[in-house]
Structure 1
Amino acid sequence: MTHQGECPKCGKRLLHVRIETIVGQNNGNDDVRCLSYSCIHCNAVLHVQLDPRAKPRRRSGIERAV
C-alpha cells in the first residue's frame, strides 16, 4: 500500500515531492549540506533535513596530528 498524504498548504495529494540540495547554517558559523522536500503543486516546503550522504568537511586551520 502506498502512503498518500496531502499538502498542508494547497490540499492536493502528494504522490511525488521535489527534492533539492540546499545549504543550511550551523549556528551561523558553518555551512551544512541539507535536503529540502517541497510540494510539486504549490512549492510549499514540507521538510528539511541534513543530507545523510554529505561527507564531513575538514575544518580549515586544523592540522592533522602526525
Structure 2
Amino acid sequence: MEKMDRLRDAITDYINEKGVEYQRLLLSRTFYTKLKKEADEHDVPIDLPNMEIKDNVDYDFKLLP
C-alpha cells in the first residue's frame, strides 16, 4: 500500500505543519489510477474529501489550502 501510505503521510504532515486541514487535494490521473488499484487489491475505499483528478500534470498529488 505504498501509494496510500505516501498520501496519508503527506496529509498528516500538512495538518501538523499548517495546523489546518487541506481544502483541495489534486491528484494526477496516473497517481489516482495506481492508488485505486492498491485500494481495490486491499478492499479499502478511497474516501478523501475535496479530491480532484487532473490530467497532464507534472505531480503525483498536491494539497492546497
User: For the superposition of Structure 1 and Structure 2, which TM-score range results when normalised by the shorter chain?
Assistant: under 0.3
Report the structure, 1 or 2, having the larger helix content: 2
Q: TM-score scaled to structure 1, two decimals? A: 0.24
Greater RCO (Cα-Cα under 8 Å, separation 6 or more)? 2
Q: TM-score scaled to structure 2, two decimals? A: 0.24
Report the structure, 1 or 2, having the larger strand content: 1
